[in-house]
Amino acid sequence: MYAYDEIDRTLVNERVSEFRDQVQRRLSGELTEDEFKMLRLQNGVYLQLHAYMFRVAIPYGTLASNQLRRLAHVARKYDRGYGHFTTRQNIQFNWIKLSDLPDALADLAEVGIHAMQTSGNNMRNVTSDQWAGVAPGEIEDPRIWSELIRQHTTLHPEFSFLPRKFKIAITASDHDRAAIKVHDIGLRLIKNEKNETGFEVLVGGGLGRTPFIGKTIKHFVHGRDLLSYIEAILRVYNQYGRRDNIYKARIKILVHELGIEKFSREVEEEWQHIRNSSLQIDDEVIEDIRSRFIYPAYEKLPHMPDELRQAAADPDFEAWRKNSVAAHKNPGYSIVTISLKPIGAPPGDATAEQMDALADLADTYSFGEIRVGHEQNLALPHVAKRDLPALWKALDKLGLATPNVNLITDIIACPGLDYCSLANARSIPIAQELTRRFANHELANLIGRLHINISGCINACGHHHVGHIGILGVEKNGEEVYQITIGGRADESAALGNLIGPGVKFDEVADVVEDIVEAYLALRERPEELFVDTVKRLGVEPFKERVYATR
C-alpha cells in the first residue's frame, strides 16, 4: 500500500471544496453546461444515458480494505448498491446525482481516493500490473515509478489540456498483464548491464477507431531520466498533435503520420533541452516514494501446508485453486484472482455487500490489500497458502469463487448501450449469453485460455481489437450488428485481431462464437495449443469457412 503524505491529502481535500463550489454554481445557473462540462470531466463525471456516471481512480490498481469499504459506502449511499470495475483500474458508479457528487467525493477523500485523471484531455490514471510487487521474477515493483509519474502529472498545467486523453501503463514482468503495447506510452521496466533500473519506452499504441500496437521509441531510458523523457514525448505531442479533428488527435495518429523515426528524432531533440534540468530524478526521491509503500511482514511459511494438502481432496476447491491461484514471490503465499465474471452476470460488477465482504477478507487473509486488474477482476495479493481453503469457502458464499479466470467466460465487456451514451449496441447481454453457453467448467477448461473482449462501439473500451475473440457492436439500419475478429492479444506479443467476415445479428453472436470454438477444438494440433496460437498458425480462413458455411 502507498501512504499519502500531507501534500496529497491537502490536494485531494482542496479539490473537493473546489468541485462543491463548481456544482453549486452550476445548479444555480451561474455556470452554463458549456462552462461546467470540462470542470466535471476533470472530476470524473460523465453524462450517460440514464444519469451521471462517476469514475473513480484506483492508481496502479492498488486498494486498501478501508478504501474498498468506502467505495461500497458510495455505491450504497449515493448510487444503486453496486459499482463497475473498468478496463483501466477505475471503478464507475452509474446512477449518481450531480447534487450528491461533492458529498461522495468528500467521503472518498477521507480515505485518499479521488477522481482526478479519470476523464478529460489530460494524463489519465497511470496503470500497472495488478500483481506488482508480488509476482515471481518481477524486476522490481513498478508502482514506485507509477506513483512518481502520478505525482508529477496530477494537475500539471502542461498536461491538463492535451490534444486528447493520454494513457500510460507500466510493467516490470516478462508477462505483460498491464497491456502496455496498447497505451499512448508503455513502459517496460528493465535493468542495464550495470544493473541500473530503466525502461524500454513504447509509444503510439492504442485501440479505439484507429488501433495501433505501440512501437519502441527507446530501448533504455535510465530511471533518473524517466520524467524528462516522458515530458519530451508529451511536448512533441502537445506541439504537433492535432486539435482540429478529435478522431486524429491521439498520439498514435501523430506517431503513425510522422513515422517512428522522425517522431523519435523530435523527442530526442526536445529531451536534450530538458534531460539535465530539475526533471532529473534524485535517488532520494525514489527512495522516499519507496518508503511510503508499506509491504507486508511475511511469515516464513511452508510451501505445502497441511491445510492445503487436505483441501486438495475436494475437487471443487482444486478446480478453483488451479484456476485462480497463482505463484507468489514468497513461496508460503499465493496471489488469488477473484473473478468478477460469475455465469450470467455483467462483467466487472460488484455489489456493495461483496465489496464490504471482500474488504473483510482482505483484512483477514491479505494484509488488508486488494488489487484491481484491467481484465475487470480483483485480486488478493498476499494470501498464505494455509488460508486458501478458508478463503475459497468464504468467496464461494459471496458468489465470487467462479473458477474461470482467463477462460472463455472471463469476458471483458464495456457497459455498452445499456448505459453508455456513445454506444451503438449492447455489450453486457452478449457477455451474459456467452457465459451461459460456456457455463460448463469442464468444457471451458478443455477450451483453455481464451479471452473474449466486447465493445459496444468503435471507441473500444472493451478492448475488442485485442481479444482472442473480439466482438464489436455497431448499428446498421437501426439494428445491432456485431463484427467478429479473432487472433488479437494484449500481452507481450500484442496483436490486433482480424475480421472473419460480415457482421452478425444480436441473436447470432453466441452461435458464431460456438462455431469458432468448435472449429478451434477440431483444428488445434494438441490440447496445449492455445486458441490464439491456432489462429496464428492457420489464419482466419478455416474459422471463416466454419462460421459462414451455413449462414
From 352, 447, 450, 458, residue interacting with another protein (rule: CB under 8 A)? 352
How many whole angstroms separate alpha carbon 395 and alpha carbon 424?
35
Q: Which is nearer to another protein, 329 or 437 (CB)?
A: 437
Alpha carbon 373 to its chain's center = 5
- Considering the complex, state which of residue 37 and residue 292 has its C-beta at the smaller distance from another protein: 37
Q: Are 411 and 454 in contact (CB under 8 A)?
A: yes
Binding segment (CB under 8 A) for another protein, from list 174-182, 183-191, 278-286, 418-426: 418-426
| DSSP-assigned letter for residue 427 | S
Q: Is 80 in the site for another protein (CB under 8 A)?
A: yes
Which CB, 104 or 350, lies closer to another protein? Answer: 350
Mark residues 358-397: x for contact with another protein by CB under 8 A, - for none. Answer: ----------------------------------------
With binding defined as CB under 8 A, does residue 163 bind another protein?
no
Q: In the block, which residue shows the cell 500510460?
A: 168
Counting every residue written for the chain, the total comes to 551
In whole angstroms, give the CA distance from residue 93 to residue 88. Answer: 15
Nearer to another protein, 165 or 275 (CB): 165
Task: Mark the segment that binds another protein (CB under 8 A) among 93-101, 256-264, 317-325, 510-518.
Answer: 93-101
Do 283 and 291 contact (CB within 8 A), yes or no? no
Q: Are 500 and 517 in contact (CB under 8 A)?
A: no
As measured in angstroms, the least distance from the Cβ of 346 to another protein is: 6
All 3 cell numbers of residue 262? 522522425
Tell me the number of residues near another protein by CB under 8 A: 35
Binding of residue 245 to another protein (CB under 8 A): no
Query: Given the complex with another protein, which of 159 and 419 has the nearer CB atom?
Result: 419
Q: Which stretch binds another protein (CB under 8 A): 209-217, 260-268, 309-317, 415-423?
A: 415-423
Integer Cα distance of 83 and 74 in angstroms:
9
Q: Quote the least distance from Cβ 480 to another protein, whole Å.
A: 7
Q: Which is nearer to another protein, 12 or 53 (CB)?
A: 53
| Closest-CA residue to 341 (of 333, 349, 353) | 349
Strand partners, 52: 47, 96
Distance CA 427, CA 463 (A): 12
Q: Looking only at residues 479 through 538 of this chain, which bind another protein when binding is defined by CB under 8 A?
A: 480
List the one residue from 419, 438, 482, 543 that touches another protein (CB under 8 A): 419
Please select the residue that binds another protein; options are 11, 39, 98, 496, rule is CB under 8 A. 98
Q: Which residue has the cell 467466460?
A: 409
Shortest reach from residue 426's CB to another protein, in Å: 6
Q: Which is nearer to another protein, 31 or 486 (CB)?
A: 31
Annotate 261-271 with b (16+ C-beta within 10 A) or e (fewer). eebbebbeebb
User: Which residues, in sequence order, are bridge partners of residue 334?
Assistant: 327, 383
Residue with cell 487473509: 365
Binding another protein (rule: CB under 8 A), the pick from 190, 345, 398, 439 is: 345
Ranges within 423-482 binding another protein (CB under 8 A): 426, 428-429, 432, 478, 480
C-alpha grid cell for residue 260? Answer: 517512428
Choose between 51 and 260: whose C-beta lies nearer to another protein. Answer: 51
The C-alpha atoms of residue 26 and residue 19 are separated, in whole angstroms, by 10
Judged by CB under 8 A, does residue 349 bind another protein? yes
What is the footprint of another protein within residues 14-53 (CB under 8 A)?
Answer: 26-29, 32-33, 47-52
Q: Which three cell numbers stand for residue 356?
A: 464490504
**Is the CB of 49 or the CB of 521 nearer to another protein?**
49
Half-sphere exposure (CA, 13 Å, Cβ side) for 210? 14
From 103-111, 134-142, 350-358, 495-503, span contacting another protein (CB under 8 A): 350-358
- Cβ nearer to another protein, comparing 57 with 420: 420
Tell me which stretch binds another protein (CB under 8 A): 6-14, 74-82, 275-283, 462-470. 74-82
What sign results for the dihedral spanned by CA atoms 100, 105, 49, 400?
negative
Give the dihedral sign, CA 393/72/85/171.
negative
DSSP notation for 27-71: HHTSS-HHHHHHHHHTTTEEE-SSSEEEEEE-GGGEEEHHHHHHH
Nearer to another protein, 48 or 445 (CB): 48
Integer Cα distance of 23 and 290 in angstroms? 37
CB of 428 to another protein, least distance (A): 5
Nearer to another protein, 104 or 519 (CB): 104
Who contacts 273 (Cβ-Cβ below 8 Å, separation ≥6)? none
| Interface contacts to another protein, rule CB under 8 A | 26-29, 32-33, 47-52, 80-82, 96-99, 345-346, 349-353, 417-419, 426, 428-429, 432, 478, 480
